[in-house]
Amino acid sequence: MSNSHGPIYYNGFYHLFNQYNPYGAIWTDFTVWGHSISKDLISWKTLKPEIRPTKAFDKYGCWSGSTMILPGNKPTILYTGIDETHTQVQNYALPANSSDPYLEEWIKPDDNPFLVAGPSTNKINFRDPSTAWMGPDGQWRFLIGSSKNSRGIAYLYKSKDFINWVQDENPFHSKEKTGNWEGLDFFPIYQLGKEGLENWMINGENVKFVLKVSLDPTRYDYYTIGKYLPKTDRYILDNTALDGSKGLRYDYGNFYASKSLFDPGKKRRIIWGFSNESDTRMDIVEKGWNGTLPIPRRIWLDPNGKQLLVWPIEEVESHRGHEVQLRNKKIKKGEVLEIEGITAAQADVEVVFFFPSLSKAERFDPSWDHIDAQELCSRKGSAVQGGLGPFGLLTLASEKLEEHTPVFFRIFEDKNKHSILLCSDASSSSLKKGIYKPSFAGFVDVDLSKKMLSLRSLIDHSIVESFGAGGKVCITSRVYPTLAVFNNAHLYAFNNGSQTVTIKKLEAWSMNKPKEMN
């Protein structure tokens, strides 16, 4: 499994597609579109693969793209195929029976490909058509990701009939030294409130726009927030300093190739991403599967207007089981407190930490200015004693902490302000050899006047999804414990800073396993 794409809501079902190799767990040119459906985004039914390499225009793979509902309730898939000459071309597919709510069969018309790269376009980096939208002039538009001389590019294409497409003379957006762009997503978002917007809602005084790109060189997703001028098809960033690989991310961990959906039933914008394996090729072959999709997440604009907030969809809460609670529990320097009474290998944990003072926050060394949050976390892990922090949770931990994945805050004083680091550190997550065990981290832009920080972690055997300060920073880690498995997994709260912190409130639930949809 790889790269979730093409999500739609159609005739009572959520549909999600993904890149899939039906013959094994290792990457191959024979890539098809897998297909799953759900009524609640939690319980899924897997259908047979929908789009396979069967034509000259997709001989070497049916790669990522988008699915949309055109006027008249007509589902349409746009996808990238690699043709007989190993050139990336754009194709479309239509349902064989649009009255089938499962949309189990699709056809690829013979007039494919509907779009090929122009003479000056990079033909081997020309992929992943975005969801289309209609402008005020009645023309359809969509984006294609590409690159030229290490500059990442989003090309804009227009059509009056959704059949014949013309490239706009200027790139929709580009950025030097970012490499190839793929997995483009472009959508409107309200400036206030959590309600989502349809893709074609391009006008309105209280609307901003989000452009998300997946950067092939880094294998992370980045987004910008800005204005869209539909008459000239210009996208103007609110903060150009945040563009490129130093920019904002939905998730600062193992999360890539995300795709969003406007959910018309609940008026919300949802994203899916892909979390790949970090263990060895031999292990992947042995277990027979490769990659997972984290919990779907709702996104909306932070009231400060500077970033998006990311939070698990509300449906996950319906699978909470037995609950335990803690209130006003102090944790001194070096203390570790076990959270007992839940299945720590599958849990949902929400905790609010309180600290009476910021005076013990350690000084932010000016020499760290050139490093990113991830590098700082690797230097300042949970075992490195601090002032205000590190404090947080030890997830998927063995009884004696030979294995554990800490998720924690660390607060620094930096030039008369405070910098808050949220880390998810897999470096001690497993005794297994030869696997990738990175430290992931992001800086949290939050007001500390109340001297509180909140953390939520969703734990599910080999994945830990953490959300800091109400969704300001999200981090997904893939981990492979050998001791901390099933009933031998433990959950702890800890503090390794000189400042005592208080668990103001902790609520944790065992999670019930979702059933496959009937």
pLDDT in tens, 57-83: 999 999 999 999 999 999 999 999 999
Q: The sheet that has 297-301: what strands, in order across it?
A: 256-263, 268-274, 297-301, 308-312
Average of per-residue pLDDT across 486-513:
97
Count CB neighbours of 121 within 10 A: 17
The Cα 177–Cα 463 span in angstroms is: 32
pLDDT at 209 over 60: yes
- The CA-atom distances, in angstroms, between 119 and each of 114, 143, 247, 269 are 16, 18, 31, 37
pLDDT in tens, 211-223: 999 999 999 999 9
Burial of 304 (0-12, 13-18, 19+ CB in 10 A): exposed
Nearest CA to 316 out of 447, 168, 512 is that of: 512
- The CA-atom distances, in angstroms, between 178 and each of 65, 150, 169, 174, 369 are 21, 6, 21, 9, 21
**DSSP state string for 460-516:** ETTEEEEEETTTTEEEEEE---SSS-GGG-EEEEEE-BSS-EEEEEEEEEEEPPPPP
The Cα 275–Cα 280 span in angstroms is: 15
Core vs surface per residue 234-271: b (16+ CB within 10 A) or e? ebebeeeebbbbebbbbbbbbbbbbbbbbbeebebbbb
Let me know: does 166 contact 48? Beta carbons within 8 Å: no
- The CA-atom distances, in angstroms, between 65 and each of 5, 108, 269, 316 are 6, 14, 18, 27
Q: How confident is the model at residue 507 (pLDDT cuts 50, 70, 90)?
A: very high
The Cα 3–Cα 380 span in angstroms is: 32
Let me know: does 463 contact 477? Beta carbons within 8 Å: yes
Average of per-residue pLDDT across 292-317:
96
Nearest CA to 261 out of 73, 106, 68 is that of: 68
pTM value > 0.85: yes
Contacts of 451 (CB under 8 A, 6+ apart): 354, 355, 356, 357, 358
Count CB neighbours of 176 within 10 A: 10
Helix (H) or strand (E) holding 362, with range, is strand 362-363
CATH level 3 topology of 2-312:
Tachylectin-2; Chain A (2.115.10)
Nearest CA to 310 out of 130, 469, 507, 458 is that of: 469
pLDDT at 30 over 80: no
DSSP 260: E
Average of per-residue pLDDT across 115-137:
95
The Cα 111–Cα 164 span in angstroms is: 11
pLDDT in tens, 238-262: 988 889 888 999 999 999 999 999 9
**Residue ranges of the chain that CATH labels 2.115.10.20:** 2-312
Nearest CA to 253 out of 276, 224, 270 is that of: 276
Q: Considering the chain, what percentage of its residues have pLDDT values greater than 70?
A: 100
Q: Which two tokens stand for residue 446?
A: 């939050």
Distance, CA of 326 to chain centre = 31
What's the pLDDT score for residue 1? 53
- Residue 222's DSSP bridge partners are 213
Where residue 400 falls (left for φ over 0; alpha for ψ -120 to 50; beta otherwise) is: alpha
Contacts of 36 (CB under 8 A, 6+ apart): 15, 16, 17, 18, 44, 45, 46, 47
Let me know: does 90 contact 78? Beta carbons within 8 Å: yes
Q: How confident is the model at residue 2 (pLDDT cuts 50, 70, 90)?
A: low
Q: How confident is the model at residue 495 (pLDDT cuts 50, 70, 90)?
A: very high
320-511 is classed CATH 3.20.20.70: no
The Cα 425–Cα 437 span in angstroms is: 8
**Residue ranges of the chain that CATH labels 2.60.120.560:** 320-511
pLDDT at 24 over 60: yes
Average of per-residue pLDDT across 381-390:
96
- Residue of 281 and 203 predicted with greater confidence: 281
Burial of 505 (0-12, 13-18, 19+ CB in 10 A): middle
Q: Which two tokens stand for residue 167?
A: 């490239």
pLDDT in tens, 101-112: 999 999 999 999
Contacts of 310 (CB under 8 A, 6+ apart): 250, 251, 271, 297, 298, 299, 467, 471, 474
Nearest CA to 216 out of 187, 243, 186, 184 is that of: 184
Average of per-residue pLDDT across 419-444:
96
What's the pLDDT score for residue 367? 87
- Residue 386's DSSP bridge partners are 497
Cα angle 514, 466, 458 (rounded to 5 degrees) comes to: 20
pLDDT at 437 over 80: yes
Q: Chain-wide mean pLDDT for the chain?
A: 94
What does R_g of the chain's alpha carbons equal in angstroms?
23
**DSSP state string for 78-142:** EEEEE-TTS-EEEEEEEES-TT-TT---EE--TT--SB---TTS-TTSEE-PPPPEE-TTS-EEE
What's the pLDDT score for residue 199? 87
Beta strands 501-511; 320-331: pairing state: antiparallel
pLDDT in tens, 132-162: 999 989 999 999 999 999 999 999 999 999 9
Q: Considering the chain, what percentage of its residues have pLDDT values greater than 90?
A: 86
Let me know: does 427 contact 378? Beta carbons within 8 Å: yes
